[in-house]
Amino acid sequence: MPKQPPSISTGILSDIRCFFLDKPEIATSIKFHSEEERQFYTENILQRTGIGVDTYNVLNIHRIGVEAPATFLFEELLKWNGDSSCWPNHLAKVTLKNGRLDKIKVNLFGWPPDPFNPKKRSKGLELFHLFNLNALKIQRTPEPFDFDNARYLLYKCSGGYPIGIFLMYVRTSIPERGEKEMSQLFMVVSFNFYGNKNLSKLNFINKTWQAVHNRATTHIMNRFKQLCEWHFEEFTNA
């Protein structure tokens, strides 16, 4: 049976159903049995980015295998503009400055309509501001010493929640680690709540934030997998 693209969300209620209420097909959040295991895993991912995560209290990692080459996946990531087939863009509106991935603002319900224009912002509308993403590095081609075709988009998060880094990382699968698909996609978040380390130490806040983040991220990654595999099948059958 031919693969199908993910359905497109049509509004806020549709976003809530598609990204929070529906059950994801594949669980993506990586469970760690100890902080040592978490640290070892994160170092394997982050050692090439030059960014340490010891400043932040929580590191959250999701992973999904995709039946498409790493190059193909990364090209799909570079097309990201908040398309609501993979992102809840009616709930959390993505705006790219000058249409580029270097500077991104995410606001609730799309308010204000032009978050990069100070004339259209007001103090009251700051309540709708979720966070900014400012690119630290966009690795478009693998480093010469890479063996797994790693590419990534690395951002500094600021402005609302979370304060930290956000990493979208793609590499070829490593069979020795039990990875069967062509490629692996990782989404990594390191954060402190509103830049406040005391808040980030509160277990209730951590668990609440992670529950919301994990549900949405799992759906986003499942949908991105579906989109990439559909596009790749279309490409190979053309």
- pLDDT (mean) for 106-115: 84
- What pLDDT does residue 36 have? 81
The residue with greater pLDDT, 39 or 96, is: 96
Please name the CATH architecture into which domain 12-82+137-237 falls. Answer: 2-Layer Sandwich (3.30)
Pick from 28, 3, 7, 24: which is nearest to 237 by CA? 3
C-alpha angle 234-237-238 in degrees, rounded to nearest 5: 80
For the entire predicted model, the pTM comes to: 0.87
- pLDDT (mean) for 180-192: 87
| pLDDT at position 211 over 90 | no
- What pLDDT does residue 62 have? 93
The long-range contacts involving 75-84, CB below 8 angstroms and separated by at least 24 positions, are 76/224, 76/227, 76/228, 76/231, 77/153, 77/168, 77/170, 78/140, 84/8, 84/9, 84/15
Q: For the segment 20-67, what is each residue's pLDDT rounded down to a tens digit? A: 999 999 999 988 888 788 777 777 777 778 776 566 555 688 999 999
- Cis geometry, peptide bond prior to residue 112 (ω within 30 degrees of 0): yes
Residues 107/127, Cβ–Cβ less than 8 Å: no
- What pLDDT does residue 175 have? 92
- pLDDT (mean) for 205-224: 85
- pLDDT (mean) for 71-99: 92
Minimum mean pLDDT range among 69-73, 77-81, 188-192: 188-192
- DSSP category for residue 36: H
| pLDDT at position 8 over 80 | yes
| Domain coordinates in residue numbering, the chain | 12-82+137-237
Pick from 171, 144, 5: which is nearest to 73 by CA? 171
